[in-house]
Amino acid sequence: MTKTFASRADLSPKRATFTRLSEHAWAYTAEGDPNSGVVIAENAALVVDTTATPAMARQLISQIRRVTDRPIKYVVLSHYHAVRVLGASAFFSEGAQEIIASRGTRELIAERGGQDMQSEIERFPRLFDAVETVPGLTWPTLVFERDLTLYLGDLEVQIKHVGMGHTKGDTIVWLPQERVLFSGDLVEFGAAAYTGDAQLAHWPGTLEVLRRLSPEKLVPGRGPALLSNAEANRAIDYTKSFVETLLSSARESIAAGHDLRQAFAHARSRMDPLFGDVFIYEHCLPFDVSRAFDEASGISHPRIWTAERDREMWQALQD
């Protein structure tokens, strides 16, 4: 295995798809790269996750402009990771008035946003095309605790923090009239779940909250748009299995007295047969096992990933 990040070998471009889900909702997906969501109502549009750079965001904007000229008044951050938020500035010229995030997301930006930006860019440069266009950290202008409801004309848009999982600040966007759910990285499908900043023990319960919404359409953080309740449940089951297998393997390693390197080998023995062929698995797994090992050891608040820590961990586990 390579001592450089697996993602550095991921150089092939991905084809973006803009799919209409309902009267007001669209999915912007890209073959396992991070997804965005779009809501277009009678008086305004809303974007869920902004891509990684302003230059990349303009590609999303061009898709939106093919179907509407309405102002994109609202940007919602599903969580704080750089690949989701650093394109936000491109939307100011499109009418953006508010950047909306949960309290937990804002706290994480303040605590570790700069370190996260540097580490993500170094890990996965293809996802940060034209990174020089990023003006700096993206800060929310409107912060909510648990729930925020917008009415875009007659369309109700619920923005919710229903529980921790991928991060402590995860935010979903739910259209109850059309039963469309934008889950962010709380749900993945056909891709590894990155859990380096996760609250793993809480994540399965949060997924069950999403299941109880009974979405008919679901846009996961990565993977294709899911176009039925059965597909949505399959994606929830997939993510839950990934998280539970990862955490249980780490708990087994702690009980056996393993060090991190041994825990990584044990996790591979359980995870590879189930998930070894999905998008970004080799990139995510060392970070995933490191966080699971910490949480199983009693470290509840994820340690901050810096570019230096990334490299040290990666090299130690690849030797």
Ordered by where they begin, the domains of the chain are: 6-318 (3.60.15.10)
Q: Model confidence at 8, in pLDDT bands (50, 70, 90)? A: low
pTM for this predicted structure: 0.96
Model confidence pLDDT, tens digit, residues 33-69 = 999 999 999 999 999 999 999 999 999 999 999 999 9
pLDDT(2) > 90: no
User: What pLDDT is attached to residue 319?
Assistant: 62
- Amino acid residing at 135: P
User: What pLDDT is attached to residue 137?
Assistant: 98
pLDDT(303) > 50: yes
Model confidence pLDDT, tens digit, residues 197-252 = 999 999 999 999 999 999 999 999 999 999 999 999 999 999 999 999 999 999 99
By the 8 A CB rule, do 37 and 219 touch? yes
Across all residues in the chain, what is the average pLDDT? 95
Model confidence pLDDT, tens digit, residues 121-131 = 999 888 999 99
Report d(CA 113, CA 285) in Å as an integer.
Answer: 22
User: What pLDDT is attached to residue 1?
Assistant: 42
User: What pLDDT is attached to residue 15?
Assistant: 87
Alpha-carbon dihedral 186, 190, 195, 197, rounded to 10 degrees: -50
Model confidence pLDDT, tens digit, residues 252-287 = 999 999 999 999 999 999 999 999 999 999 999 999
Report d(CA 89, CA 77) in Å as an integer.
Answer: 13
Cβ-in-10-Å burial (0-12, 13-18, 19+) of 62 comes to exposed
